[in-house]
Structure 1
Amino acid sequence: MSEPRMPHERMPHERIPHERILDERIPEECIPDPRILGPGLAPTPFTADEIRAGCPDGHWALVRTERGGETTFHRSGFEAGDAEGVTCTTTPTDASGHPTGPVTSRRATWAELQAHAAFQASSTTVASERIRLAFGERDCLRYDVAGDDGSDDGSGPATFWFALEHPGMPVRYVSPGFAAETIAVAG
């Protein structure tokens, strides 16, 4: 009988004795990257755990959206978070953040929120960039997504800026005929 091997040294068809799984150390390079959600996908800017830590109960972002020559504002918030997910709220507001309409809410898992930033690797370029926002300059990861993979409606390419100190939604998002930018954050 041959010497036991580490899990990464075994052939795919070989089984690891169940009682040995927890005893063997897996080299770090063999541990899956939690930012890569599947084959062919680019790494997301944040893990689900980082989003959970960055979006505690009471956290919100005031967003300005420009589409078709119109400018609107809304507040995206996070409530009732737990280990699995959070209730995401959206409230239409005026430019100063005062509500102008009813709050809508939906429950989402942290993994679902992370998956919003999972783009095809073949059509995505990621770079570091420092940008100026209404609430100050931020170091960001800029995701340029080519083709129809980037925009919500499939209308063409899109660019997303994710601020490193604000895990969660992009602080800026631009696609043909559409632009959204976070103008305030709290919580």
Structure 2
Amino acid sequence: MDEVVTEFKSESQEILARLTALLEDLEEDPGRVNELDGYGQKVDRIMGGAMSLASAMDNDPLLNQIGACAGLCKTVGYRGSQIPEEQGGFAKAVIGLLLDMTEMLQTMVEKVGSEKNFDLSSPLYLTVVDRLKWVSEQFQDGTRSSLKIAGTQGTAKDFGENINDLLKRMGVS
């Protein structure tokens, strides 16, 4: 199992480095916010890997937290990819939030194998959670939370419930 954990950690760190570079580029040019769809697809790989490993390792709390955090990143990424051009300020806020959440995810991944959970009680992480809640309230109804599939739409209420469920899985009330 150690080999699988090492591989997960290595692949996740590679993905996170690419995602950080993408977000830094988008920070310079928020008009390309539609590229957050790709961010969502890539961070979904981390979410799936973490959740699979967690279930294979007696519901490892840290891996569950990583899966939940990656799920939040995925959802915000997909929703952020639909921000209209005239809302450039909001796009910048979403990109900044995703940068902070990706950094938090990097810190969590680094701890895999050495710690059992991630302490989210520091003021820095609580600020990220507050920003996440604010961003979730700004998205409009009809903004999808996943890849575009013909005929599917979500509501702001669905998104808020999704965010709250994922925050609970991370250990944040």
- Indicate the TM-score class for this superposition, using the shorter chain for normalisation: under 0.3
Superposition TM-score, scaled by structure 1 size: 0.26
Q: RCO greater where, 1 or 2, for CA within 8 Å and sep 6 or more?
A: 2
Superposition TM-score, scaled by structure 2 size: 0.27
Give 1 or 2 for the bigger CA radius of gyration. Answer: 1
Greater strand proportion: 1
